[in-house]
Amino acid sequence: MFLKSADGRDNKYMISTISIVPAVLDVMSGPQGVAIAMIVYFTAMIMIGLWAYTRTSTMDDYMLGGRELNPLVAALSAGAADMSGWLLMGLPGVLYAAGLVQSWIAIGLTAGAYINWWIVAPRLRTYTEVSKNSITVPSFLSNRLRDKSNAIRVAAGIIFLVFFTLYVASGLVSGGKFFDSSFGIPYETGMVIVAAIVVLYTLVGGFLAVSWTDTVQGFMMVIALVAVPITGLIAAGGLGQVAVDVAAKGVETNQEMLSLVFNVDPRDIVTGLAWGLGYFGMPHIIVRFMALKTPQQATQARRIWAIWMVLSLFGAIGTAIVGISLVRQKIINMDGADNETIFLVTGHTLFPSIFAGFMLAAILAAIMSTVSSQLLVTSSAVVEDIYNSFSKENVKNVSLGITIGDRTVTQSNLGVTMGRVVVLFVTLVGVALAWNAKESTSLISSSILIIVSFAWAGFGASFGPIIILSLWWRKLTAPGALWGMISGAVIVVVWHYLLNNGEFSVIANTKIYEILPGFVVCWLVAYAVSMVTYKPNPEIEAEFDLAVKMAKSKEYEPFVPAESN
């Protein structure tokens, strides 16, 4: 018998539809649901890349999106590019193992990032435009300080290449672990899948594709980080039961899992807070400041970012704490699993297949958003800063033409093509480094947190003080910036390998994060050398005053700079 429609007639289509619904739900709740979610995610990322390709016609477009980012995209893409797999894997993993004492890292990051948006974003946006329309951090420093030798650009480009290659490798390690833990796909295969998708949309769409994919991924990350701990809390039986289980683990491990300060070495607190210093020199984050449509939008972007950051970090902390209870009650099984997979295992266990697929895609989003941003900034540094410093012909001035259907895209120039080649090359090197990260003979650690912390320190100590001084102190000189930058990088490497909990630690274990001594030394060297070498330059002084005036202005007044070197 057919169902009756509104007009009283038999409706065979209604009963057909009703019979289909259970079948669809069955597919969505089975293993196919995860596959569907992942396919939708990958397809969306690639489509965004193809869309961005049609809007990328110059070197400035490929590397900086034509300075057209709105506050929402700038804020969420900066957050997603910043946090990487560390937010959903590294941080929950270390909190799950050691308790809230590791939250000092999250506190330091939140404070550092907020201050970065406050004191760096508006001035960097205006100064990079005023200073010969600089599109990379090294080119800005070189133009700002009138470094005719190009030593700053070359040194900065080399530092970028070294530390970003390590950073990219950490993202690929995250990707390999993700596929291994989620689907039983071999670590190496998973790593190659992540690398291939990221390279595809980064090669095609450049900065615009990276920024918009990062924005989508930022939304996915925060939704997942809110949903997992809330669902876990309900499954565990509420706050009371979670508190009991966490306390029980503390007794077993002789730790105060919910204490920030009990039995804590003060050096651990200093180290955690020191993470915040990294933001001031993180190129793939501060490049979003440079790409804002106007400097006045930095305030709105900062507020959007703050909401995203707080929700995300509390979600990561909540996932770890609730995860302890879920494991003790045997609701989820972490036997033989890496601590860094606690978020992944929790989401996979508690959610229906299609939603679990979304949670898994959120982890991939965190990983891929950071890797893509790092690849793009590395390619811009190599092409714009290293190659242009030695080439007689600036790649910006070499025109190419590419036709898509009946539409001709004036494809920037040789620089865009070279940038794409660098993206591919750095990815291959990253894959090679991460390939055997689980082996004792590997050149890098298998711990996501250790790799990220080293690269983070390298950038924060090398560029953080220089960026701040270049924006706020008119007497900074090219020699001061150069030697400060080099000193910071050297101190980080020496401290990590010889004086800290690094791979060798042959002298001592100070337990102080290498970014702190590196940051201090960079600042002191830059200041001291600048005081010795400073000579008033009317052009630099006028440019400094103009940049400050534009940053403070309530209304944006477009500036037409000379073409950058």
pLDDT tier at 534 (50, 70, 90 boundaries)? very high
Q: Averaged over 67-73, what is the pLDDT?
A: 86
Is 192 part of a structural domain of the chain? yes
- CA atoms 393, 381, 69, 465: torsion sign: negative
59 contacts 134 by C-beta, under 8 angstroms: no
pLDDT tier at 435 (50, 70, 90 boundaries)? confident
Cα 145 to Cα 150, 350, 502, 504, 540: the distances in Å are: 10, 55, 35, 38, 7
Is 467 part of a structural domain of the chain? no
Q: How far apart are CA 67 and CA 289, in angstroms?
A: 9
Say if residue 84's pLDDT is above 60: yes
Q: Is 403 helix (H, G, I), strand (E, B) or coil?
A: strand
Position 446 scores a pLDDT of 55
Q: List Cβ neighbours of 354 (8 Å cut-off, separation of 6 or more).
A: 28, 29, 33, 34, 36, 37
Position 544 scores a pLDDT of 94
Do the bridges between strand 3-4 and strand 402-404 make them parallel or antiparallel, or are there none, so unpaired?
Answer: unpaired
pLDDT tier at 87 (50, 70, 90 boundaries)? confident
pLDDT tier at 17 (50, 70, 90 boundaries)? very low
Of the candidate ranges 189-193, 460-464, 501-505, the one whose mean pLDDT is the lowest: 501-505
Strand partners, 292: 69
pLDDT 10s digits, 235-273: 999 999 999 998 888 878 777 777 787 777 888 889 889
Is 367 part of a structural domain of the chain? yes
Of the candidate ranges 2-11, 55-64, 98-107, 114-123, the one whose mean pLDDT is the lowest: 2-11
Of the candidate ranges 205-209, 221-225, 504-508, the one whose mean pLDDT is the lowest: 504-508
Position 438 scores a pLDDT of 60
Tokens in use for 525? Answer: 């060297």
Position 331 scores a pLDDT of 92
Give me the chain's average pLDDT, please.
Answer: 80
Is 392 part of a structural domain of the chain? yes
Say if residue 91's pLDDT is above 50: yes
pLDDT tier at 564 (50, 70, 90 boundaries)? very low
Q: Averaged over 361-371, what is the pLDDT?
A: 77
Q: How far apart are CA 185 and CA 206, in angstroms?
A: 29
246 contacts 324 by C-beta, under 8 angstroms: yes
User: At 246, which amino acid appears?
Assistant: V
Say if residue 381's pLDDT is above 80: no
Tokens in use for 134? Answer: 């600089």
| Residue with the two structure tokens 């002298």 | 507
Q: Averaged over 535-563, what is the pLDDT?
A: 81
Is 16 part of a structural domain of the chain? no
Q: List Cβ neighbours of 493 (8 Å cut-off, separation of 6 or more).
A: 458
Cα 282 to Cα 275, 457, 562: the distances in Å are: 12, 9, 27
The more confident residue out of 205 and 112 is: 112
Position 398 scores a pLDDT of 44
Of the candidate ranges 9-18, 139-148, 180-189, 550-559, the one whose mean pLDDT is the lowest: 9-18
Is 537 part of a structural domain of the chain? no
Is 201 part of a structural domain of the chain? yes
| Proportion of the chain above pLDDT 70, given as a percent | 80
Say if residue 276's pLDDT is above 90: yes
Instruction: State the CATH number of the domain containing residue 66.
Output: 1.20.1730.10
pLDDT 10s digits, 397-426: 444 344 434 444 444 456 667 777 888 888
Say if residue 211's pLDDT is above 90: no
* Tally of domains within the chain: 1
The more confident residue out of 173 and 330 is: 330
* Burial status of residue 475 (CB atoms within 10 A of its CB: 0-12, 13-18, 19 or more): middle
Q: Averaged over 31-35, what is the pLDDT?
A: 73
Is 247 part of a structural domain of the chain? yes
Q: Which domain holds residue 45?
A: 38-446
Query: Which of 84-88, 313-317, 371-375, 433-437 tops mean pLDDT?
Result: 313-317
Cα–Cα nearest to 144, from 523, 433, 501, 474: 474
Q: Averaged over 28-42, what is the pLDDT?
A: 73
Say if residue 493's pLDDT is above 70: yes
pLDDT 10s digits, 453-478: 888 999 999 999 999 999 999 999 99
Position 448 scores a pLDDT of 66
